[in-house]
Amino acid sequence: MQVIEAYKPFEIQEIELTDWKQRPIKNNFFELVLIKNGEGFQCINYNDYTYTKGSMFLLPPLKCHSFTIEKPTQFVFLKFTDSFFKNINRINIDRNEWFKEASYILSNYNQLPGDIIKNEIDRNHLESLIAMILQESRNYGDSSINLVTSLMTSVLEILIRNIKKSSYFELPKNNSDDRITKMLTYINENIDKTELLKVENLADVFMMSPTYVSEFFKKQVRMSLREYIIKAKLKLVEIRLLNSDFTLTQIADELGFTDVSHLSKTFKRYVGTSIREFKNKGEYMLLKRNACAS
């Protein structure tokens, strides 16, 4: 087993297993898993999916996953940590925009099982990037920080474009109206733009009457439009509180809350705890998932 923890912008582990045991690793952001060799099944939220050589998965926060190993399996776990996002301003990229994209993945990816990469060219890119990160990490030092961080941003960019092409929303069974998937995608991609989330604008974009938008949404999602938007914003609040150094004022301004007081009251109402208590506990509430069956 080889575990590499390099200056904490990320953690990478390469390991071969014949039996799966839950790793005592707290996972607040997400982890990319590459299957280098082996066969078996991945479980997330009580769903199983076959894996083989070259399969790639995202592991969600907390202990919500497991693997059933049928043939000895060589795993590579690439974990994005909170300090990766806090310290990325040392690199010459737009940290805020990049973190916003990363948060989009975590708040919307429904954590169902399955290979997240559908494009074989992207799969080859990721395998090459991960190999480079492993090679650099074995001799990690100051000279590698910028290079590895750049490689990590490239990994995330590929994940983002694959996930945005997928249908990742959990909807009631037997739902056959693809308009709701398009509407949910539109809402989540514009969650920080209050004007675009108004019923009148959604009505224009999706060619419905304003009165029908709310009725249609609630029927499809089993939740009011207003509640969905608030919870979608609060999921992003949770991510920012645990994985960034943004101030409450910055978070409130970015996500369209009137001020910090409005943010705090809304958070307490829907999450069930104060922001201070939430940060002290250090675990997601709205993003939390149950563990898989053993």
**pLDDT tens digits, residue range 3-32?**
444 445 567 888 999 998 876 555 556 788
Choice among 19-33, 58-72, 223-237, 245-259 with the minimum mean pLDDT = 19-33
Residue 253 lies in a domain: yes
* CA–centroid distance for 20 within its chain: 23
Residues 136 and 213 grouped into a single domain? no
Task: State mean pLDDT over 132-160.
Answer: 80
Instruction: Give the integer Cα–Cα distance in Å for 269 and 278.
Output: 13
What local confidence, expressed as pLDDT, does residue 8 receive?
Answer: 52
What would you report as the CA-atom Rg of the chain, rounded to the nearest whole angstrom?
20
* CA–centroid distance for 31 within its chain: 9
Residue 290 lies in a domain: no
Which residue, 111, 130, 163, sits at the end of a domain?
A: 163
Residue 288 lies in a domain: no
Residues 80 and 214 grouped into a single domain? no
In sequence order, what are the beta bridge partners of 40? 51, 69
What local confidence, expressed as pLDDT, does residue 139 receive?
Answer: 74
Ramachandran assignment for 63, one of left (phi > 0), alpha (psi -120 to 50 degrees), beta (any other): beta
Instruction: Give the integer Cα–Cα distance in Å for 196 and 244.
Output: 26
Please report, to the nearest 10 degrees, the dihedral formed by the alpha carbons of residues 292, 64, 166, 157 taken in order.
-160
Residues 117 and 186 grouped into a single domain? no
Residues 125 and 69 grouped into a single domain? yes
Residue 96 lies in a domain: yes
Q: Are 91 and 67 in contact (CB under 8 A)?
A: no
Residues 153 and 10 grouped into a single domain? yes
- DSSP string spanning 67-111? EEEEEEEEEEEEEE-HHHHHSGGGSSS-HHHHHHHHHHHHHH---
**Would the pLDDT of 226 be above 70?**
yes
Residues 10 and 137 grouped into a single domain? yes
What are the CA-CA distances from residue 161 to residues 94, 117, 155, 270, 281 (Å)?
Answer: 18, 10, 10, 31, 32
Q: If you search the block for the tokens 């307490």, which residue do you land on?
A: 268
Residues 131 and 245 grouped into a single domain? no
Residue 168 lies in a domain: no
**Would the pLDDT of 229 be above 80?**
yes
Residues 226 and 250 grouped into a single domain? yes
Instruction: Give the integer Cα–Cα distance in Å for 286 and 237.
Output: 10
Instruction: Give the integer Cα–Cα distance in Å for 177 and 190.
Output: 21
- Pick 233 or 139 by higher pLDDT: 233
pLDDT > 70: percent of the chain: 76
Choice among 33-37, 135-139, 233-237 with the minimum mean pLDDT = 135-139
Residues 73 and 148 grouped into a single domain? yes
Which residue, 163, 186, 209, sits at the end of a domain?
A: 163
Choice among 116-120, 174-178, 213-217, 219-223 with the minimum mean pLDDT = 174-178
Give the domain CATH number at 140: 2.60.120.280
Q: Are 212 and 219 in contact (CB under 8 A)?
A: no
Residue 173 lies in a domain: no
Give the domain CATH number at 257: 1.10.10.60
Domain range spanning residue 182? 178-281
**Would the pLDDT of 293 be above 50?**
no
Q: Helices 225-243 and 95-108: crossing angle, nearest 10°?
A: 120
Residue 136 lies in a domain: yes
Q: How many CA atoms lie within 13 A of 114 on its CB side?
A: 12
When divided into structural domains, the chain yields a total of: 2
Which residue, 129, 163, 197, sits at the end of a domain?
A: 163
